[in-house]
Structure 1
Amino acid sequence: MRSYSASMIIVALLCSTTVQAVPSQRQLKLFHANCAQCHVGESRFIPTLGKAEDWSERNHRGEDAMLQSVIQGRGGMPPAGYCSACTEDDLRALIRLLSGLTGE
C-alpha cells in the first residue's frame, strides 16, 4: 500500500492544470485514505489525478453518471472506492478533484 502525505497531495493538486475543485480538509483526508491509493501514480488501467487524457471520456458522461459509477463500483473500482465515511457531497467533491470537473 502506498502512503501519501497531505503535502504531497496538495503539491500534486497545485501542479495539475485540470484540477479545479477545492476540497475541504475532511475531503482531503478521505482522498488520502481512499482515492490516492489507486489514483495517484501512473497506471495503464486507472485514471490518474491531474492527467486530463485519463478523464476526458469519463467527463463527457457528466458528474451525475460518474457519481453513479463511483457509488456502484465500476471495473476494478469497488463501490464508493471503499470509502464508507463518504457522503454524496464528499464523493462529488472527490470526483471533481480527481477528474477536473467544476461542478457547474
Structure 2
Amino acid sequence: MISNNNLDSIGGMEFATFKLKEGVTEAKLVELSTQLEAEFLSQQEELALHFLVRGADGVYANVAIASSQEKAEEYCQQWLSNRVALEYLELLEQETVNMTFWTRIS
C-alpha cells in the first residue's frame, strides 16, 4: 500500500493499452517488463510506480506513475533509446497501442 506521503509525490501518469502480436506470450511480456524494471525503470528517481494489467479480450495496459505528467512523458521518450524497452515494444501490435498521459488534479 502506498502511504499518504508517497501519494503526495504523485502528479502524473502514462497509461498505454495494447494487444500483443500474434504468437507473443504473456510470459514473455512479463519477463521483459521485469527486466525493464530492473535495468531501466528502477533508475528513474521520480517514477513512483510501474505495472502491467490485463483486461478483457487480450488487452493489456502499461501504467507508469511519476512525480508529474511531464516526467511520465520524459520517461516514456527514454524507452526509445533503451535496448530492453525496444525489445518490449516489439512484442506489441503497434496499431492497437493507445498511449495517453494524465495529470493528477486531486
TM-score per shorter chain, which class?
0.3 to 0.5
Q: TM-score, normalised by structure 1?
A: 0.34
Structure number with higher relative contact order (C-alpha < 8 Å, ≥ 6 residues apart)? 2
The structure with the larger Rg is 2
Q: Which has the higher strand share?
A: 2
- Give TM-score scaled by structure 2 length: 0.34
